Amino acid sequence: MLYIPPLTDINTMRNNIKSIGFLALTAIMLSACTTSEKVEVLDMEKVRGEIQAMEDAYAAGEKAKDADAVAAYYSDDAMGYSRNQQPLSGKSAIRDNIAKAIASDTTGNYSVYKVVDLFAEGNTAVEIGSWTKFDSSGTEMENGNYMSYFQKRDGKYLCVRDMSTTTSPAE
């Protein structure tokens, strides 16, 4: 024979199911309302200013023929990718390459670096920039573009990777 529970048992069961459903729905809704970590909103103009100041210091170091001032742009574990040469690994190798280039320049030429585009999030930034080389009288000689990847370490951006190109045809 088929057992049919009394009506009060069925109503109790329905109420229990409704209560469990209500509690589950409430738990889901409450968990959706919790916030995860606060995401720091970067002041992109401030970051752009910091990166441009680094580019200006780099150019000033080149003009002053101060390889250490130029190398301050880089992290110790930086990699430099320049046109027509093998990649340079480490700040020391980059600094030595800069010192060699500075020592061989007797023309008084100088470069200007400008931030063209900047992407930043958290403690990293990627800069797309342009460079222009001038002779001592201020006449443009050559120009090109570069890309630099920065990490903020101890509160200061440092270049970890950079790559440059020229718009001049290959020689």
Average pLDDT across the chain, whole number: 87
Residue 39 pLDDT: 64
Give the count of alpha carbons within 13 A of 21, CB side only.
6
pTM for this prediction:
0.75
DSSP output for 119-135? EEETTEEEEEEEEEEE-
Domain segments of the chain: what residues?
Answer: 1-32, 44-166
Residue 170 pLDDT: 73
CA 49 to CA 115: how far, in whole Å? 9
Spell out where 25-170 has E strands.
74-81, 88-89, 110-121, 124-134, 140-153, 156-166
Angle at 14 between CA 11 and CA 16, to 5 degrees: 110
- Mean pLDDT value of segment 8-35: 66
CA 19 to CA 5: how far, in whole Å? 20
Residue 21 pLDDT: 64
Report, at the CATH architecture level, how domain 44-166 is classified.
Answer: Roll (3.10)
How is residue 139 written in tokens?
A: 């006449």
Q: Which of 97, 72, 41, 56 is nearest to 153 (CA)?
A: 72
Q: Which of 155, 161, 146 is nearest to 50 (CA)?
A: 155
Rounded to the nearest 10 degrees, how much is the dihedral formed by the CA atoms of 22, 27, 33, 39?
-160
| pLDDT tens readout for residues 125-144 | 999 999 999 999 999 999 99
| pLDDT tens readout for residues 3-17 | 565 555 666 666 667
- Mean pLDDT value of segment 51-59: 97
Residue 37 pLDDT: 63
93/1: higher pLDDT = 93
